[in-house]
C-alpha cells in the first residue's frame, strides 16, 4: 500500500526541482577519465552485477567486462561517466572510514538491475566532474544527464503514485542520490531541500514496509545516508520561522539502533550519535527562538534542562577505539563543532564581554578543533565529511589566523575532492567574516544565505 502523505511530499519535491545551473568552476580539462587502479569494491560490485560476456565492452583491469547493453543509449559518454564515478565520484562521496565503499558495493549492483539508479549515478558523476578540476569544457553533458535523470525519476514517481509500491526502494535510493548530486554540483538554489523532503517520506515508508528485508544491510546505509544529509542541512533552515523536523521517529529509532551497534559508515564515520544530537540541538534552537506570550525570548526551565542534557551527551562522546586514526580525529572535530553549535544557541559569543564563560568556552572549542585539524592533511578522503564542522567553526571565530586555516583547508578540499558545496561553504564563510564579530554565529548562517541568495546543504 502506498502512503498518501509520502505521495504528496514526493510529487511536490519533484515539481519544485529547478533546472540545473551552470557550474561555478573555472578549471577545465577534456582528457578522458579512466579507471587506473584495480579496486576491490569495484570488482566485487561488478562481479555481482554482470555475467561474463564476450561482447565488446568496458574492461576493468582486463578481468571484468561490462557489456554495452548494460548502459543507456548515450554509449561512450555513459562509459566515461561510469568510469569517472567508480574512480573519482564514489571515493569523493565516501570518506574512507570503512574498507568497503557502499557507493560502489551497494549502489552499483542495484544500478544494473534498476535503470533509474544507474541514470542517477551517471548524472551525479557528470555533476561531480563539472565541479572538479577535471571538468568538461561544456556543461551540456552534465545538464543533459541531470535533466534526463529527473525525467526518469518523475516517470517512476508516477508509477509509485499509481500504486506500484515495488518502486519504493528505487525511489528512496534515487531521492538520496539526487541530494548528493546537488552537493556535487554546488547547487545554490536549495534544490537539495526538495529532494530531502521526498527522502524523509520515502525512507520512513521503506522502514515500515517489507522491502527493507530484501536487501540485507542496504537499509542501514540508507539511514546513514539520510541522517548525514538531514543533520548537515538543518543549519541552513531558520529555526525562528520553520517548525518542521527533518527527522521522523522511525528514522531516529533506526539511527539509534545503529549507534548501539557502534555503526561506522562512509558518510557518518563514527559520529552518527553526534548527528542525532545535532538534530536535537536544532530543535532546542527552534523552541528557544519562539517568543513567549509576552513577546520575550528567554530559556525556560525545560530549555535549560534540555541544554544541560545535550551538553552532557556531546561531551560524553568519544570515538570507538577500533576506528581508523583519521576517522577518530574527524569524529573529535565533529564533537567540538557540535559543542559550538550548542553553546551558541544561547547567543552570539562576541556580544558577550571579554572573559565571559560562554565566550571562553567557544574560543577553547575553536582552538581544540583547529589543533585536531592540524593532525591530518586536508587532502585525505575523510575531509569530504567536514563541510558542516568547518562552517560551524568558521562562524564561531573572529581570529584571522583560524579563518586562514579554514580557508586553506576548504580550498585544498575543493582542489582534491572536488565537491561543489566545498566552494560554496567557503563563499559563505568569506561573507560571514566580513560581518562585525558581534553579529557572527552558526545560527546566523541562514541569514547569510538569505543575504547572498545562496541556499546550500553542508552535507
Confidence at residue 6, expressed as pLDDT on a 0 to 100 scale? 52
**406 within 8 A of 390, measured Cβ to Cβ:** yes
Q: What is the pLDDT of residue 57?
A: 46
The number of domains in the chain is 1
* Inside any domain, residue 100: yes
Query: Residue 350 falls within a domain, yes or no?
Result: yes
Return d(Cα 391, Cα 35) in angstroms, integer.
33
Q: Are 93 and 385 in contact (CB under 8 A)?
A: no
What residues contact residue 20 under an 8 Å CB cut-off, 6+ apart?
Answer: 127, 139, 142, 143, 146, 147, 185, 187
Q: How many CB atoms lie within 10 A of CB 234?
A: 25
The set of cell numbers assigned to 232 is 548537515
Distances (CA, A) of 225 to 90, 177, 352, 412: 13, 9, 38, 25
Give pLDDT tens digits along the chain (459 positions): 445 455 545 555 555 544 433 333 333 333 332 333 334 443 444 343 333 343 444 444 333 345 445 555 557 889 899 999 999 999 999 999 999 999 999 999 999 889 999 999 999 999 999 988 777 677 889 999 999 999 999 999 888 888 877 888 999 999 999 999 999 998 888 899 989 988 999 999 888 876 555 567 899 999 999 999 999 999 999 887 776 788 889 999 999 999 999 999 999 999 999 999 999 999 999 998 876 555 556 788 999 999 999 999 999 999 999 999 999 999 999 999 999 999 999 988 888 888 889 999 999 999 999 999 999 999 999 999 999 999 999 999 999 999 999 999 999 999 999 999 999 999 999 999 999 988 899 999 998 898 888 889 999
Beta carbons of 274 and 338 less than 8 angstroms apart: yes
**59 — phi, psi (to 5°)?**
-100, 130
Contact 335, 274 (CB under 8 A): yes
**The pLDDT of residue 216:** 74
Q: Give domain status of residue 457, yes or no.
A: no
Three-class DSSP category at 129: helix
Torsion angle, CA of 115/82/96/331, rounded to 10 degrees? -60
Grid coordinates representing 261?
551497534
**CA distance linking residue 230 with residue 437, whole number of Å:** 28
- In a domain, residue 458? The reply is no
Distance CA 179, CA 189 (A): 13
Signed CA dihedral, 68, 70, 73, 79: sign only: negative
Domain that holds residue 337: 4-290+297-452
Q: Residues for the chain: how many in total?
A: 459
pLDDT in the model for residue 278: 98
Residue whose grid cell is 562562524: 395
Judged by phi (left if over 0) then psi (alpha if -120 to 50, else beta), residue 276 lies in alpha
Q: Is the pTM of this model over 0.75?
A: yes
Nearest to 23 by CA among 181, 232, 168: 181
185 assigned to some structural domain: yes
CA–CA separation, 188 and 7 (whole Å): 26
- Whether 406 maps to a domain, the answer reads yes
Answer whether residue 349 is part of any domain: yes
pLDDT at 27: 34
Q: Are 149 and 120 in contact (CB under 8 A)?
A: yes
Could you tell me if residue 14 is inside a domain? yes
Predicted pLDDT of residue 246: 86
Amino acid at each position: 500500500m502506498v502512503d498518501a502523505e509520502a505521495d504528496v511530499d514526493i510529487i511536490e519535491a519533484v515539481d519544485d526541482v529547478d533546472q540545473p545551473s551552470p557550474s561555478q568552476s573555472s578549471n577545465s580539462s577534456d582528457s578522458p577519465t579512466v579507471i587506473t587502479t584495480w579496486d576491490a569494491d569495484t570488482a566485487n560490485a561488478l562481479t555481482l552485477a554482470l555475467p561474463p560476456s564476450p561482447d565488446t565492452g568496458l574492461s576493468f583491469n582486463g578481468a571484468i567486462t561490462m557489456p554495452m547493453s548494460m548502459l543507456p543509449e548515450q554509449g561512450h559518454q555513459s562509459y566515461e561517466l561510469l568510469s569517472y564515478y567508480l574512480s573519482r565520484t564514489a571515493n569523493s562521496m565516501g570518506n574512507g572510514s570503512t574498507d568497503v565503499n557502499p557507493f560502489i558495493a551497494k549502489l552499483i549492483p542495484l544500478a544494473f538491475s534498476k535503470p533509474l539508479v544507474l541514470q542517477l549515478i551517471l548524472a551525479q558523476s557528470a555533476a561531480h566532474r563539472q565541479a572538479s578540476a577535471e571538468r568538461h569544457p561544456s556543461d551540456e553533458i552534465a545538464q543533459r544527464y541531470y535533466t534526463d535523470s529527473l525525467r526518469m525519476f518523475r516517470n517512476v514517481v508516477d508509477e509509485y503514485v499509481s500504486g506500484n509500491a515495488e518502486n519504493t526502494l528505487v525511489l528512496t535510493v534515487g531521492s538520496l542520490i539526487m541530494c548528493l548530486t546537488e552537493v556535487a554540483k554546488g547547487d545554490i538554489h536549495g534544490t537539495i531541500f526538495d529532494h530531502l523532503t521526498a527522502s524523509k517520506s520515502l525512507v520512513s515508508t521503506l522502514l515500515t514496509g517489507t522491502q527493507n528485508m530484501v536487501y540485507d544491510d542496504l537499509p542501514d546505509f540508507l539511514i546513514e545516508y539520510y541522517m548525514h544529509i538531514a543533520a548537515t542541512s538543518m543549519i541552513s533552515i531558520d529555526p525562528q520561522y520553520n517548525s518542521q523536523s527533518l527527522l521522523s521517529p522511525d528514522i531516529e529509532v533506526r539511527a539509534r539502533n545503529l549507534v548501539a551497534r557502534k555503526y561506522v559508515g562512509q558518510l557518518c564515520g563514527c559520529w552518527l550519535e553526534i548527528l542525532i544530537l545535532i538534530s536535537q540541538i536544532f530543535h532546542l534552537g527552534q523552541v528557544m527562538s519562539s517568543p513567549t506570550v509576552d513577546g520575550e525570548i528567554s530559556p525556560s526551565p525545560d530549555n535549560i534542562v534540555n541544554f544541560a542534557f545535550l551538553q552532557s551527551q556531546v561531551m560524553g562522546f568519544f570515538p570507538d577505539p577500533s576506528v581508523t586514526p583519521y576517522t577518530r580525529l574527524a569524529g573529535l572535530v565533529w564533537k567540538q563543532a557540535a559543542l559550538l553549535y550548542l553553546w551558541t544557541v544561547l547567543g552570539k559569543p562576541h556580544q558577550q564581554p571579554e572573559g565571559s564563560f560562554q565566550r571562553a568556552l567557544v574560543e577553547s572549542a575553536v582552538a581544540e578543533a583547529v589543533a585536531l585539524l592540524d593532525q591530518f592533511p586536508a587532502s585525505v578522503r575523510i575531509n569530504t565529511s567536514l563541510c558542516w564542522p568547518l562552517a560551524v567553526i568558521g562562524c564561531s571565530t573572529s581570529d584571522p589566523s583560524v579563518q586562514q586555516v579554514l580557508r586553506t583547508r576548504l580550498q585544498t578540499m575543493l582542489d582534491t575532492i572536488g565537491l561543489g558545496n566545498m566552494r560554496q561553504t567557503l563563499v559563505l564563510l568569506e561573507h560571514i567574516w566580513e560581518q562585525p564579530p558581534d553579529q557572527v554565529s552558526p545560527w546566523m548562517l541562514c541569514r547569510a544565505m538569505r543575504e547572498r541568495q545562496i541556499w546550500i546543504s553542508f552535507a
